[in-house]
Amino acid sequence: MSEPIIEIKGLGKTYLIGHKSDTGSYTALRDVVGRTVAGFGRKVMDMAAGRQIIQGDEVELFSALKSLDIEVDQGEVVGIIGRNGAGKSTLLKILSRITEPSEGKVILRGRVASLLEVGTGFHPELSGRENIYLNGAILGMTRNEIKLKFDEIVDFSGVERFLDTPVKRYSSGMYVRLAFSVAAHLEPEILVVDEVLAVGDVEFQKKCLSKMKDVAVGGRTVLFVSHNIAAVQSLCNRGIVLHSGNKVFDGAVEDAVYAYTNKISKNNDRALRGGDGPHIVHASICDDSLRHGDLVVRLEFESPYALEKPFAGLVVKDILGNPVFGHNTMMDETFVSKRGTSGILNFSVTDIPLHAGEYVVSLYFGDRSQNYHIEEDYINFLFVAPPIPMGISTSQIGNMRVKGVWVQS
Amino acid sequence: MQEKLVLEPGRANKNYWKDIWHYRELFQVLAWRDVSVRYKQTVIGVAWALIRPFLTMIVFTVIFGKVAKLPSEGEAPYALLVFAGMLPWTFFSTALSEASNSLVSNANLISKVYFPRIIVPTSTMVVVLLDFVISFIILLFMMLWYQWVPGLQFLLLPLFLLLAVLASIGPALWITSLNVKYRDFRYIIPFVVQFGLYVSPVGFSSNVIPDNWRLLYSLNPVVGVIDGFRWCIIGESNIYIPGFILSVVVTLFFLWFGINQFRKMEKTFADLI
C-alpha cells in the first residue's frame, strides 16, 4: 500500500456561464432589440467557431474547483462536505470520468463506480428483472457478475413479487429500493456515493448504511458526499471540507464536521445575493432576544412582481444536521399575509425548548404554490440555556429541553 | 492495484478503441433495450415496420411510375424498383434520426455515468437494422408475387448493406454530436430526411439523371448505396462505376470525419447536455 489509491493534484474545473444584464425597472424596446441582435450575432459566431452556446448577455468564467490536492489511501472512507455549490458534485463527476478537468490531474489506481443517483438508466417500460441487467451493465458490471449476484440483489431489494412487472408500475419506494440494490452489489475498488441515502424509508436507509459499512470494511475505498452530517459522521473516518472550490479542511471526521459548522456559522446576520425571482435579501437572528431565551428570526424579501401570499418557513437543525424543529407561515393560523413586492417577515418563539448548543437554520421563501428561494443551513445561532449536568450530552438525551418536575414522596 | 488511470485535461485517449471493446456488453444491452421497448404499448407492434415502407412504396409507385411515367430499369416492375431503393433509404434516414436523438434522450445516462459515448448512437443502429430485416421480408414476398428471379449478384447484397451501414454511421455521428451542442439540429434533421427522399433516387432510377450531371449527383453517398441495391435485386442495368467510386469515397470520408468530430466533442457532452 505504498501509493495512494486516489491522487488529485492541482485539480481545477471551470465552466462558462451566462448572465442577463441588469435591466433596471423598465426596459425599452430599443434595448431589447439591441440585446437580441447582439446575442444572436454572438451565438452565430460561437457556432461558426465551434464553441458552446451560452444564454444571456454577459459571459463569465466560473471556477467550480480551484487547484485541489487530495490523496486517499486504500480502505479509507472519506466524507466530503460543503455547502451547495462548494464543488462536491463537480469533484465526483471528474472522478467518475463524466466530465474532464480543466487543469491538474487525477490518478486512480483501481476501478471506480459511482452511485451518483439511484435508478440511472432504468427504463420504465422494462420489467424489474430486465432493469437489473440493464442497470448493472450501465454501472459497469458484466453479465456474468450480474447473474451471480441476481438473487442477492433481488433479496436485498425485497421486490421479488414484482420482478416481471414494468418498473413504471412500481411505487417510488420499490423503484428506489431496486435501484439501490443493483448499485450496492457493485464491487469496485473505489466507490463514489452522492446523496443516495436521502431516499427510501427509515428501515431501508438503515439497510443501505450498513451495506455501505460492509463495503468499507471489505477494504474498499469510499468517497461519500452528503449534506447529512450525521450520516457522514457515522460512516466516514476522514472528512474533507470544500468551500467555493477550495479545500478548507482535511482530517478526522469529527474535526471536519466542526470546521464545516464553523465555516457556515460566524454569522447570524447575513445579506443574501439576489436571484431573478422572488428572494430573501436579508436574514438575521436577534441576539438580544436569544440572550433572554427567545428565538426571533427576521426575513427581508424582495420580488420582481407582487406576491399574492408571501410564504416563509424555517427548519432548525443541530450541528449534526438532524432537524430539531420547523415552522412556517401556514402553521400559524393567526398569520395574515400582505400582497406586495417586498416586505419583512418576523418569526418568533419564546422560551426555546432546546438545550444549549449550536444550531443551524435553513430558510424557505415562496408563495402558497411554490418555494422560490431555499437557503440550506444559512444562518446559525449559539444558544445558551441552563447547562445540562456534567457527564450527559445532547447526543444521549436529545436536543429537547422539557420542563419536567420530579417529586419524591 | 491492477489498473492505473490518469485523468487530465485534453488527454489524448490512446485506449479509445480498447475502451469501446471493454464496454461491448453495454452496447449489446442498450441495443437490446431499444429493440425491446420499440413497439411496447402499441396495438399492432412490429407490424409498424411492415406497414410504413409498404404504403410509401405504393404511393411512390403510383406517383413516379403511373402519374409521372418515369421509366423503370429494363423489364423490372416499377414497384420492385421503388422498393429496392426504399430499403436502403429507409435504413439511412431512420438511422440518422434515431441516432441524432439518442444522446439527448439518454441525457440522464450521459450526465451520471461514464462509458464511451459512441456506444449510444451506434447501438440505435441495431434497431434500425432489425426494421430493415423486417422490410426485407416484404421484398422477398414482392419478388415472389412478380415472379422475379434475381441473378447471382443478389448474393452480394450483404456487402451493400455494409456500405449502407457505413454511409449512415458517419453523418449520424457528426449530427449526433452537433445536436448535443446546438439543438438547432433537432429541427434540421427531419427536414434533411424529407428533402433527401426526393433528392436521392428512391422513387426513380438514377438512369434518368442526365449523363453530364451524374458524377455530381453521386456526391450523395446514398446514391451509391441505392444503385448497388438495385443492381443486386434487379440487375438490369450496370452500376455507373465512376459515380459509385465517388459515393464510396464520400462515404469513407464522412465515416472518418464523423468519428473524428464525435471524439472531439465527446468529452464535453456531460457539460453541455
Interface contact A93-B182, CB threshold 8 A: no
A97 to B114: CB separation less than 8 angstroms, yes or no: yes
Spell A319-337 as b/e; 16+ CB within 10 A means b.
bbbeebeebbbeeeeeeeb
| pLDDT score, position B251 | 93
Q: In angstroms, rounded to a whole number, what is the distance separating the alpha carbons of residues A5 and A336?
A: 58
Query: Tens digit of pLDDT for each residue in B119-139?
Result: 999 999 999 999 899 899 989
Looking at chain A from residue 177 to 206, which residues have their Cβ under 8 Å from any Cβ of chain B?
189
Query: To 10 degrees, what angle do helices B119-145 and B78-105 make?
Result: 160
Residue B256: the pLDDT is: 94
Nearest-angstrom CA–CA distance, B217 and B211: 10
Q: Please compute the mean of the pLDDT values over residues A42-67 and round it to a whole number.
A: 74
Distance in Å, alpha carbon of B221 to nearest chain A alpha carbon: 25
Predicted ipTM? Answer: 0.79
User: For chain B, where are the alpha helices, taking DSSP H only?
Assistant: 16-22, 24-38, 47-60, 78-105, 107-110, 119-145, 157-181, 185-199, 214-217, 221-233, 241-266, 269-272
pLDDT band at A119 (very low <50, low <70, confident <90, very high): low
Chain B neighbours among A 295-354 (CB < 8 Å)? Answer: none
DSSP state of B64: I
pLDDT tens per residue, range B59-95: 989 998 888 888 888 778 888 989 999 999 999 999 9
Is residue B169 very low, low, confident or very high in pLDDT (cuts 50, 70, 90)? very high
Minimal-distance CA residue of chain A relative to B273: A52
**pLDDT tens track for A302-328:** 888 888 888 899 998 887 778 889 998
Give the mean model confidence (pLDDT) for residues B235-262.
88
Residue B166 has pLDDT above 90, yes or no: yes
Note the pLDDT tens digit of each residue in A333-349: 888 888 888 889 999 98
Cell of residue B266, nine digits:
465527446
CA B257: distance to chain centroid? 16
Residue A406 φ then ψ, to 5°: -110, 135
Say which residue, B123 or A220, is predicted with more confidence: B123
Angstroms from B272 CA to nearest CA on chain A: 8
Average pLDDT, integer, range A3-15 = 86
Single out the residue of B179, B170, B187, B191 nearest to residue B92, CA to CA: B170
- What's residue B88's pLDDT? 93
Q: At what angle do helices B157-181 and B119-145 cross, to 10 degrees?
A: 140
Nearest to A105 among B2, B3, B8 (CB): B8
| Contact call for A133 and B25, based on CB within 8 A | no
Hey, are the CB atoms on A126 and B33 less than 8 Å from each other?
Answer: yes
B134 burial type by CB count under 10 A (0-12 exposed, 13-18 middle, 19+ buried): middle
At residue A205, φ and ψ (nearest 5 deg) are: -60, -40
pLDDT in tens, A249-265: 888 887 887 777 666 55
What mean pLDDT, rounded, does chain A reach?
79
Q: With cut-offs at 50, 70 and 90, classify the pLDDT of residue A104.
A: confident
Segment A346-359 shows an average pLDDT of 84
Of the residues A138, A145, A167, A196, the best mutation for testing chain B's interface (the one with the most B CB atoms within 10 Å of its CB) is A138
Over range A1-16, report the average pLDDT.
82
More confident site: A190 or B15: A190
Task: Give the full edge-to-edge strand order of the sheet including A103-108.
Answer: A58-72, A6-19, A103-108, B5-7
pLDDT at A122 over 70: yes
CB atoms within 10 A of CB A400: 11
Check residues A8 and A183 and name the one with the higher pLDDT: A8
Examine the pLDDT at A238 and tell me if it is beyond 50. yes
Residues of B in Cβ contact (< 8 Å) with A108: 4-7
Position A143 scores a pLDDT of: 86
Q: In whole angstroms, what is the distance from residue A399 CA to residue A388 CA?
A: 11
Q: What is the pLDDT of residue A82?
A: 80
3-state DSSP assignment of residue B12: coil
Residue A57 is predicted with a pLDDT of 64
> What is the interface size between A and B, counted as CB pairs within 8 Å?
107
Band of residue B42 on the pLDDT scale cut at 50, 70, 90: confident
SS3 B155: helix
Tens-digit pLDDT profile for residues B185-227: 888 888 888 889 888 988 888 888 888 888 888 888 899 999 9
Whether residue A209 is predicted with pLDDT greater than 50 in this model: the reply is yes
- Residue A43 burial class via C-beta count within 10 angstroms: exposed 0-12, middle 13-18, buried 19 and up: middle
Mean pLDDT within A2-30:
73
Distances (CA, A) of A234 to A71, A81, A231: 21, 14, 5
Task: State the average pLDDT over residues B3-18.
Answer: 70
**Which H/E stretch holds residue A214?**
helix A202-217
**Of A233 and A364, the one with more pLDDT:** A364
**pLDDT band with cut points at 50, 70 and 90 for residue A112:** confident
Measure in Å the smallest separation between the Cα of A193 and chain B Cα atoms: 12
Q: Determine the pLDDT at residue B171.
A: 92
Q: Residue B145: phi, psi to the nearest 5?
A: -60, -45
Query: Any residues with CB less than 8 A from the CB of A230 and at least 6 apart, and which?
Result: A320, A321, A322
At residue B1, the pLDDT reads 42
CA separation for the pair A324, B164 (Å, rounded): 65
* E strand segments, A53-159: 58-72, 77-81, 103-108, 112-115
Inform me whether the pLDDT recorded for A267 exceeds 60. Answer: no
Give just the sign of the alpha carbon dihedral A361, A365, A370, A373. Answer: negative
Query: Under DSSP, is residue A384 helix (H, G, I), strand (E, B) or coil?
Result: coil
- pLDDT, position A249: 85
Q: Are B90 and B135 in contact (CB under 8 A)?
A: yes
- Order the strands of the A112-115 sheet from edge to edge: A112-115, A190-194, A221-225, A77-81, A238-243, A246-252
At CB < 8 Å, which residues of chain B contact A?
1-11, 25-26, 29-30, 33, 36-37, 40-41, 106, 108-115, 181-182, 267-268, 270-272
